[in-house]
Structure 1
Amino acid sequence: MTAVTDAAIVVTGRACGSCTLCCYLPDIDELDKPANTFCRACIAGKGCSAYEARPTTCRDFLCAWMSDARIDEAWEPARCHMMVYRQGMQLTVLVDPQYPQAWCREPYLGQLQAWARQARAEGGYVIVYAGDALSVIAGD
């Protein structure tokens, strides 16, 4: 079951809580924010100090754990140290640089391979960014 919040759909019972990985991991051109640095409006562990005035890029974004009920609790970003999101046919995984091997352990690697097999069958792919390293998951 889902609820509509702002322009995005949130899985019922899920909340960002103290997770601020979306304010840290991605590069956000609109905010002139490089990857793996906190946005200047982010209060680590608390959230956005400019929440009501945040840009559309932030307002429209939800990680896949927040918006896809098929992604289980193991993928809660604060727990797994990764943030997953979709861009068209691409599934992107951003890994907290403090935990660069997080994606290599189970249940994550097996799930990434399964997602890659499914994505490939639909013309898509899965990529993982861990610090400066980029990996394409083949699914085999």
Structure 2
Amino acid sequence: MDLSFLAVNSRTCGTCTLCCRLPDIDYFEKPADEWCKHCLAGQGCSIYPARPEVCREFVCLWLASEALGDEWEPSRSNMMVYRQGGQITVLADPDFSDQWRHEPYMSQLQAWAAEAAPSGGYVVVFWRDQVIKI
């Protein structure tokens, strides 16, 4: 599945705030898997209009690309997917089981890895204290 094209679509964050929790954000000295001090649970960023560049540049692939099916909706999958060059990164919520290892997720992760490999790309999953390259 080609994720290089980011389509504008009608998806919204809804009550999802995983981007405020799962990644580490050096700008705020926020470690991975901890809530950002600016996050309002179920609402989003309290400083959204003045958020820093690192937050402005972040692109949640489920929001940006219809290539990700509804099963990848972060509130459903408990995962957040984004792209950095040839790398596809999956941040999995540590409060949930390893559902990324199960269908429909694992076969999609493997397909993305196979597609990325010829150009040196790969898929990496961060879950709890594990870093898994697919």
Q: With structure 1 as the length reference, what TM-score do the two structures score?
A: 0.88
Measured in 1, the distance between the counterparts of 2:98 and 2:14 equals: 24
Greater length-normalized contact order (CA 8 Å, ≥ 6 residues apart):
2
Uncovered stretches (5+) of structure 1, i.e. residues with no partner:
1-8
Measured in 1, the distance between the counterparts of 2:87 and 2:116 equals: 8
**Among residues 111, 114, 118, which one is paired with 1:114 in the alignment?**
111
User: What is the CA-CA distance between 1:123 and the residue it aligns to?
Assistant: 1.5
1:117 aligned counterpart, secondary structure: helix
**Among residues 119, 130, 133, which one is paired with 1:133 in the alignment?**
130
Conserved? CA contact 2:9–2:64, under 8 Å: no
**Among residues 72, 77, 82, which one is paired with 1:75 in the alignment?**
72
2:95 aligned counterpart, secondary structure: coil
Tell whether 2:52 aligns with 1:55: yes
Conserved? CA contact 1:94–1:129, under 8 Å: yes
Q: Which residue in 2 is equivalent to 1:22?
A: 19
Q: With structure 2 as the length reference, what TM-score do the two structures score?
A: 0.92
Uncovered stretches (5+) of structure 2, i.e. residues with no partner:
1-5
Structure with greater proportional strand content: 1
User: What is the CA-CA distance between 1:122 and the residue it aligns to?
Assistant: 2.2
Determine what percentage of the aligned residue pairs are the same residue: 53
User: What is the CA-CA distance between 1:99 and the residue it aligns to?
Assistant: 1.2
User: What is the CA-CA distance between 1:10 and the residue it aligns to?
Assistant: 6.3
* Superposed CA RMSD: 1.2
Measured in 2, the distance between the counterparts of 1:65 and 1:10 equals: 10
User: What is the CA-CA distance between 1:100 and the residue it aligns to?
Assistant: 3.8
Measured in 2, the distance between the counterparts of 1:97 and 1:39 equals: 16
